[in-house]
Chain A
């Protein structure tokens, strides 16, 4: 077996195993056969472990061969005359750490969920959506073309919205899932338009060719300056949505309505870093647009400040963690904006691991807290914070506190400037159409 064949086999294995597990579970549920909890967790665990082993094998092989980048080209998925949708995986110093992180954290969360969701009616649905998320995330991370990355991006978005609405018997999770999906859809427009403009100007969708065969994080895309700015800002819009950056960040606390393991893997571990990953992947292109780089830094800084401020007044542990995650991802954006790629990657790995742990522990934190309290002789452990606040005058502190309690009215701003007017226009047009079609009369005789 040649080296090329070896890498191809490993790359296919990474993606194929979770896909097969997803299809198996999906097909079973579709024909009304419900496998046992043990069977579900074993099969999904085996798929995750298989992917992880393949990812470790590739990483080791790359390390021993002193290879920075491998392009695995599986050929065209479909061809329409001069347009080809290529299935290309890009295995490099950016994608492999992300793939490893994804496989490890998803595996841990899968194992945790086996006990945590035991006897939960949506047990199979949870694993199905988690496998869908894993497939999407691996596609996103290993995708060697912007089209493949977009396909993964969409699967991650849909699985995220569905998992937020996991507890479907209550209205709030469902509404919050819908709200999150709305933000995703708005920001996904940025990715899709950016992807197609990239294809248009670079005449290829393959990252390897766009960046003229240079290895990440170096690359010299041959794209004129004006479209470069537009493409950069569009990718930033997409990253802002997925990574919960200001002003789109308020879906993140809403997403806490989902089960704790999904919060851990999506909003603590992997999904929230997808936007940062996109920026890192496109960094050779973004760095040629000063406007985009400055915008990334500004948005990252604003998000870090916002997340810190609002997170400090949250009384719910998951919300507090969500805002902390938002702030940390804001800092990762700042690092990317300043061009510290490897530092940002390291930060991402560390943050994802810690935050996943914190989210998984959040379910037992109260018990732990009481145990600690008892162990320390009942001393008051609830007092926290207050490290820097005394530096500000009382009036400013009160104002900041009020603003933080109200989430800086970010939701209201998005609602009143974007969602509200759109829904109002839609509603008015629909009423006009109903009147025109004479349906008001028709409705009176409806059964």
Chain B
């Protein structure tokens, strides 16, 4: 059951966001574009927070849907807020707002600012969509800024992400088409609606789930489809990777489509996916130790830590899944912050070679503190949300598969060492002679300190966040058990 909103707030807000993204992206004054974009992203953040508070305190637990319908299309809702996506809306907005504030001025052309807003709208659209076609559209438009252009179409040197991302789009669209075709075969009234797709698993061809799983694994950068992630970080910078990886839209799709439409097949496939993700977690952590460049080291951290979320999701018990869902938020906040901190450092000293010492600690202590807290929070520093998430995942995985849990702990230990290695290389050693390195600017401080405060406050008082994620985990576990019973 769901409750329909009186006004099409969700669709109107998304349309407004996309309009702003296009207008701002076509502007010529980067300062004005950034200011406008910050206002728009702040509106999204406020709207997301209001929606979350209203959902959990007023409407709970009924999902509310947008009244928008497309003439000639089916009558099922297209956009909805529910327990899974309610919290993710402000989360995604905060990530984009932080990126808009902290990304160095040299990188912030109006086009780039437009892309950040565009990606925010794509993430919102994907989170809110109740229709498979809209999910596929959101999947593709979120990647559009990274897909081939005239210049990159035929030259893959340094653009290794292009074939990976194109493949993920093709596989995902094919998978969605397969599900819709199955809906047509099963004579469902609205074959593309996610709300009507339950119970059509028997009609879906066998290749569809593998196609979707591979698309998800590519987009998440899970082994063996991981190479594009550090490469993209190397090529485009850490803030681009942060915004692409941190919202974890592929994980959302896995839960929304994989677990909801294919409960039985997913239950069989998830242990394999989990084991592969575990290899990715360990592999990313180990290879990250050998990285000589900060951008690549960051790329490996993203590969390793984002795969960890899949490991938690696979363990099929409530504490593990809750841990994965909490880690989703914790990792998003911390790795986005870390990526932005690296971008801030690069704007001061150019690219960072991890074989050298940069000695920035004396001149930029706040940047150093933010870097350390954000980095360590991503690997479970006590007192931050990362610790809560890692604790839940560790208990969940060790309850389900002890060896998986041990491998996960080893990977986290290696990542922790890697964070401190990068910290000491950048902020330790002799200070640069004759070079003035300024500490965080006000806008950068707002973003990075804000993320630090968010991680610490939610780490000290994790109760409400864990409660909301536990309810989602309970729902997921009961859905899978129900399908097994059938």
Contact B421 A178 (CB under 8 A): yes
The number of residues on chain A lying at the interface, defined by a beta carbon within 8 Å of a beta carbon of chain B, is 66
Type the 1/0 row for A173-206, where 1 means its CB is closer than 8 Å to any CB of B: 1110110011001101100110011011000000
Q: Does A64 contact B (CB under 8 A)?
A: no
Contact A197 B402 (CB under 8 A): yes
Contact B391 A169 (CB under 8 A): no
Contact B416 A185 (CB under 8 A): yes
Of A46-54, A358-366, A432-440, the stretch lying at the interface with chain B is A432-440
Q: Does B357 contact A (CB under 8 A)?
A: yes
Contact A437 B381 (CB under 8 A): no
Contact B290 A441 (CB under 8 A): no
Given contacts A31-B449, A178-B420, A446-B351, contact A80 B323 (CB under 8 A): yes
Contact A422 B289 (CB under 8 A): yes
On chain A, the residues within 8 Å of B466 by CB distance are: 78-80
Contact A169 B369 (CB under 8 A): no
Given contacts A193-B405, A422-B289, A442-B235, contact A168 B359 (CB under 8 A): yes
A247 to chain B, nearest CB (A): 18
Contact A168 B362 (CB under 8 A): yes
Type the 1/0 row for B350-388, where 1 means its CB is closer than 8 Å to any CB of A: 110000010101100110011010001000111100011
B303 to chain A, nearest CB (A): 10
Contact B351 A433 (CB under 8 A): no
Contact B382 A168 (CB under 8 A): no
Give A174's nearest chain B residue, CB to CB.
B428
Contact B318 A83 (CB under 8 A): yes
Q: Does B259 contact A (CB under 8 A)?
A: no
Given contacts A83-B318, A83-B392, A158-B381, contact A169 B290 (CB under 8 A): no
B146 to chain A, nearest CB (A): 15
Contact B429 A422 (CB under 8 A): no
On chain A, the residues within 8 Å of B424 by CB distance are: 165, 174-175, 177-178
Contact B158 A438 (CB under 8 A): yes
A147 to B395, CA, bound (A): 11
Given contacts A80-B318, A171-B357, A439-B234, contact A426 B402 (CB under 8 A): no
Contact B428 A171 (CB under 8 A): yes
Given contacts A165-B428, A178-B424, contact A193 B409 (CB under 8 A): yes
Q: Does A67 contact B (CB under 8 A)?
A: no
Q: Does B398 contact A (CB under 8 A)?
A: yes
A60 to B418, CA, bound (A): 46
On chain A, the residues within 8 Å of B409 by CB distance are: 189, 192-193, 196
On chain A, the residues within 8 Å of B351 by CB distance are: 446-447
Q: Does A374 contact B (CB under 8 A)?
A: no
Given contacts A80-B470, A437-B228, contact A154 B287 (CB under 8 A): no
Give A192's nearest chain B residue, CB to CB.
B409
Find B319's partner among A80, A423, A431 (CB 8 Å cutoff): A80
Contact B381 A181 (CB under 8 A): no
A189 to B420, CA, bound (A): 17
B156 to chain A, nearest CB (A): 6
Given contacts A171-B428, A428-B290, A439-B234, contact A32 B395 (CB under 8 A): no
Contact B428 A154 (CB under 8 A): no
On chain B, the residues within 8 Å of A121 by CB distance are: 362
Contact B394 A192 (CB under 8 A): yes
Contact A29 B402 (CB under 8 A): no
Contact A427 B417 (CB under 8 A): no
On chain A, the residues within 8 Å of B156 by CB distance are: 438
Q: Does A429 contact B (CB under 8 A)?
A: yes
On chain B, the residues within 8 Å of A182 by CB distance are: 417
- Which residues of B225-239 are within 8 A (CB) of A? 227-228, 230-231, 234-235
Q: Does A383 contact B (CB under 8 A)?
A: no
- Which residues of A4-44 are within 8 A (CB) of B? 26, 29-32
- Which residues of A77-109 are within 8 A (CB) of B? 77-83, 85
Type the 1/0 row for B463-485, where 1 means its CB is closer than 8 Å to any CB of A: 10011011001100000000000
On chain B, the residues within 8 Å of A151 by CB distance are: 382-383, 387
A344 to chain B, nearest CB (A): 27
Give B286's nearest chain A residue, CB to CB.
A426
Contact B286 A170 (CB under 8 A): no
On chain B, the residues within 8 Å of A165 by CB distance are: 424, 428
Give B399's nearest chain A residue, CB to CB.
A200
Q: Does A409 contact B (CB under 8 A)?
A: no
Find B402's partner among A31, A174, A200, A446 (CB 8 Å cutoff): A200
On chain B, the residues within 8 Å of A171 by CB distance are: 357, 428-430
On chain A, the residues within 8 Å of B23 by CB distance are: none
Find A430's partner among B158, B235, B290, B416 (CB 8 Å cutoff): B290
Q: Does B220 contact A (CB under 8 A)?
A: no
Contact A30 B452 (CB under 8 A): yes
A125 to B361, CA, bound (A): 11
- Which residues of A123-142 are within 8 A (CB) of B? 125, 136
On chain A, the residues within 8 Å of B430 by CB distance are: 169-171
Given contacts A29-B365, A79-B466, contact A436 B160 (CB under 8 A): yes
Known: A29-B369, A32-B366, A433-B227. 12 other contacts (CB 8 A): A151-B383, A161-B420, A169-B359, A170-B429, A173-B428, A193-B409, A429-B286, A433-B287, A438-B159, A439-B234, A441-B158, A447-B350
User: What are 16 A-B contacts with C-beta separation under 8 Å?
Assistant: A26-B369, A30-B366, A30-B452, A78-B462, A81-B473, A85-B388, A136-B382, A165-B424, A169-B430, A171-B429, A174-B357, A175-B424, A185-B416, A189-B410, A429-B290, A437-B230
Closest 5 A/B residue pairs (Cβ): A442-B158, A426-B290, A174-B428, A430-B290, A81-B318
